[in-house]
Structure 1
Amino acid sequence: MGAPRARAVQERVDPDIGLPPAEHRRRARREQWPVVCAVSVGGAAGAAARYGMSLLWPTPAGAFPWTTFVINVAGCAVIGVFMVVITEVWAAHRLVRPFFGTGILGGFTTFSTYAVDIQRLVQSGHAATALAYLALTMVCALTAVWTAAALTRRFIRWRTR
């Protein structure tokens, strides 16, 4: 009696294996263009909405930047809801997350403006306001994501009973 024979394992085969490098790159670029376009269009829409809010609610020099604060915290709350919905409830099209999550919400929230606001406050002699803004934004943005995700999960469980 010999050693037991190993069973053949059926492994998935990557369709790109064996392709010449140039064809592999062409295929990858073709698959990325829709994602790049979705992020671009969504980002433009989100940035336009943020810019519109900054025009409607301008921040005076040296004052706490409430507009940027509210935009970032609200955007983070929406990201919390969105990520729960598309990962736990709804099998979204592959372009929904790049369009809405990365594009619209990424263009709407503005942590680069947050950094510039802090720099301007410090340079204009309002270091205490800058420090408060720095800490409050981080705490509130993270709390908004966590709270929105938790409440969304709770709501979903309640609705499915």
Structure 2
Amino acid sequence: MITILLVAVGGAVGAPLRYHLDQVVGRRTFPRGTLLVNVVGCFLLGFLVQTTSGPALALLGTGFCGALTTYSTFGYETVRLLEERRYGHAAANVAVSVVLGFAAALLGLGAGRMLG
């Protein structure tokens, strides 16, 4: 039961932060806000799995990072770009999101290993 509460508390902080960052960074011609939160979340989760465990990982990894990042918005924004016939932007969104997310996770893991 305590783990569920920790996940909820982490999510209660991560979701509003995601919303705020998306509003600050904006969308314009490319969904930069979603890209930013997803890449930051990949780095943080990589770092956290190397440096925390148990309740802290539930709070920060599952709760906070889970609410901060958003695969559903990434999917929706990519589909929206396709519907607007902005095929290059849609392809770039997918490629950049996957490559930068993967790289950020690797960097987070490496940074966590260095400190752990």
Q: Is it true that 1:144 corresponds to 2:112 in the alignment?
A: no
Return the alpha-carbon distance in structure 2 between the equivalents of residues 156 and 114 of structure 1: 31
Gaps of 5+ in 2: none
Q: Can you list the C-alpha shifts for 1:111-154, whole angstroms capped at 9, x where unaligned? A: 1110111011001111111011101101110111112212332x
Q: Can you list the C-alpha shifts for 1:5-60, whole angstroms capped at 9, x where unaligned? A: xxxxxxxxxxxxxxxxxxxxxxxxxxxx2111111121121001000112222212
TM-score when scaled to structure 2? 0.91
- Residue among 75, 85, 106 paired with 1:125: 85
Structure number with greater CO (CA < 8 Å, separation at least 6) is 2
Report the alpha carbon displacement of residue 78 of structure 1 after superposing the two structures with TM: 1.0
Question: Aligned-residue CA RMSD in angstroms?
Answer: 1.4
- Identity between Structure 1 and Structure 2 (%): 28
Q: Can you list the C-alpha shifts for 1:75-113, whole angstroms capped at 9, x where unaligned? A: 111111111112xxxxx5x32111110000110011111
**Partner of residue 7, structure 2:** 39
The runs of at least 4 aligned residues of structure 1 exceeding 3 Å deviation read none
Radius of gyration: which is bigger? Answer: 1
More helix by share: 2
User: Structure 2 matches for 1:1-161, cutoff 5 A?
Assistant: 33-60=1-28, 63-86=29-52, 92=53, 94-153=54-113, 155-156=114-115
Return the alpha-carbon distance in structure 1 between the equivalents of residues 77 and 91 of structure 2: 11
The number of equivalent residue pairs is 116
